[in-house]
Structure 1
Amino acid sequence: MNEFAIMWDWMAFAVRWLHVITAIAWIGSSFYFIALDLGLRKAPNLPVGAHGEEWQVHGGGFYHIRKFLVAPEAMPEHLTWFKWESYSTWLSGAALLMIVYWAGGELYLIDQNKAELALWQGIFISALSLSIGWLVYDFLCKSPLGEYPTILMVLLFGLLVAMGWGYNQIFTGRAMMLHLGAFTATIMTANVFFIIMPNQRIVVKDLQEGRTPDPKYGKIAKLRSTHNNYLTLPVVFLMLSNHYPLAFATEYNWLIAALVFLMGVTIRHFFNTMHAHNKPPYWTWLVTAILFILIMWLSTAPLSQSDLEDEEARAMTASEQMFAEAEGFENVTDIVLGRCSMCHAREPGYDGIHRAPKNVLLETPTEIAAAARAIYLHSGVSEAMPPANVSWMEPEERRAIVAWFRDASS
């Protein structure tokens, strides 16, 4: 099992790396095309059907770009499609969610203090919930409300806030943030897969068969692309949130996520306006700063005492019991309490640490047994923890951790 733990950790790293790479590609192309679209200008002698053009300089050369609002008169010989950036980002993200939050569900997914669910039930809710947002959102877009983009965005914001609150009633704070990001990213990728790409294929087919494309398909795709643009920054925040307990491990984490969505709107509004060659709305930065200050204030709200007491009194799972009964557990407990618990505590005693890193608590035997794999990987086979070995963990103590984990896994 110890070799499997190492292989599994490397696989998680590889999938996370892939996810970051594909996300960069998707976000980069999304931001580029929104900026390009907003920066188009009218010019004399544009071809029939051309909406505008833009000259750009990059990489030692000049680019002359024109956009046809519906379609050109004839189908070009070479056409580049932008879709795999979105698909690969979602697929790699889904794989990462399964590796971290489904396979590691007992530690990272379900909070038994919130909902007493079996692991399979948590996984089922996790998988099912990701499709709900798209179905509701798509219904709203296809309803008469689709003609009122601002109202539609407000309703989408309400849906996201409701899902964040709902996730927080079941999942750990870390899983809540990640699932809300996956929930939003599913809407974005479904926009590409079910709406934007099919509409573009209809336009291409009309051109190939000599028909005049209906402009409604471009209008629909533009609406969905705009929504994706405003949702991008919050999704990036939610992807990164699992590294910051002040974001996910607080009582009002779902409200922090809601405010992040508003920050995404204000930031993108500034850049979208600027790319459209209009006067930049500098007031958006003041609003963004106020929202961020409010987030920092909310992050200081303490968890209720009853929540802390419930966690301390929690009974061990079968997996945790296995590690607690393994030879060397008492020694490892003493090592962890002496070298790690000054930071991984409900009230950290190390200067500058206000919340336990990644919200991992190591104050009781139950908590130490629950974090066995992480302790083994970060303090046994590697020297990642304690960071810079600030608490002077000795080599023989690391060997004791490795021996304990391997004995429990054998």
Structure 2
Amino acid sequence: MAKLPGGLDFLQGQPLRLPAPPEQLPAHPLQVFCPQRPEVITGQTVRRGQMLIEPIRPSDACHVSPITGTVRSVTPLSGDEGYRVMIEPPAGTVVTTLEVTPPRGRKLENWFAVLRQVGPWSEIDGGVGLIRQLDAARNRPVDRLVCVGLDRFPPYPDRSSLLMSFPDDAVLGTLILADMLNVKQVVMLAGRVPAMLGRLRSSCRKYRLKLVVEANRYPSAHPTMVAFGGRSARGGSRYLPNGHNPVEQGVMMITPWTAVRIGRWFTLRRFDLLRPVFLARPDRLELLTGHYAMPGAPLSTLADDLTSSMIDAGRVLSGDPMTGRPIRDPAIVPVDQSLVTVLGEAPARTVEPCINCGWCLDVCPTRLDPVRMVRAAERRVDDAWLWDQLPWCIDCGLCSYVCPSAIPLTQTFSRVQREMGGRE
């Protein structure tokens, strides 16, 4: 991994030791997102593991029902963004695993078919998801497989917590994927977290997996940073903008929970449908608490004090404080994130003129010029240059974070990229 340019050092939090995932959870209605019209109707009874949709594109994962229950509603979302399926289970508890036998042998096509059938999968893996990476790997050899155990936001060590809690499963799951892909360069990438490293080192030695320990400097866990350590040279070919499949550059990336799920599936012959969720509260001394929940369950299953007023005020984020997005209606456990941040009431900041301090240039990990970019965006001059720069913004939020004038730099770049993309 190349040295990370820019970035910022945050306090490294202490990881949590999670127990094994429970085999059952209290029953709650689930809201399942489907990108196309589901193959079920209101009033229909669905079984745990029953397919809700099989996408047209083979690179997309199928969506299965994680519980047995009754379909209460199938609601189309605005802007052709898909459908939301409400499934209500009987009272009591729900089983959290699916009995699926792993494929025999190393044939990628067999593993891909089974893994695709038990979706949806998080899109956090490599920025595009496990299934899309595996689909690309069917046509292009993978040179390097990395399990990215660096924490996305060091004060809240969600990934370090998983590696400390399930080191054998994480290592085994990584090696299973490497074996089916015939990858020779396989790496477990972890941060310098002493409480976790002792257990992880032992597992890596046992299974002979290379462990690489890096300073967890934000945003070192981003796929672009993992692949290249930032921009190599202007106009160079080493290019990994947002949404770009890293397998096209010969690199495949997975997160610890993906590795743990595959490792546990291989040893227990049961596939986990729930996910760990870490709840961070920056305004309290206890920085992190760990929970298990079904994606799509009400947020109240994590903590009773997650009130509707906090959610309406945008104080509950899916993700970390730097890049997280407010959880709006419906207030449900996210599919793509293992971290949920609950913000305190912060005082409003007034936007002031730029004072040319240069702090945004210093922290940018992809060596952009945020000041010049925001001026070009506001005046809509030099659009060709701006369009060339925008894909390199990884939305880490550091320029906005350090700006003493409170200029919404990252937010402006995201908005302009959407506007300019719509014109293409």
Same fold (TM over 0.5): no
Highest CA radius of gyration, 1 or 2? 1
Higher relative contact order (CA 8 A, sep 6+): 2
Instruction: Tell me the TM-score normalized by structure 1.
Output: 0.28
Q: Which structure dedicates a bigger proportion of its chain to helix?
A: 1
Instruction: Tell me the TM-score normalized by structure 2.
Output: 0.27
Q: Which structure dedicates a bigger proportion of its chain to strand?
A: 2
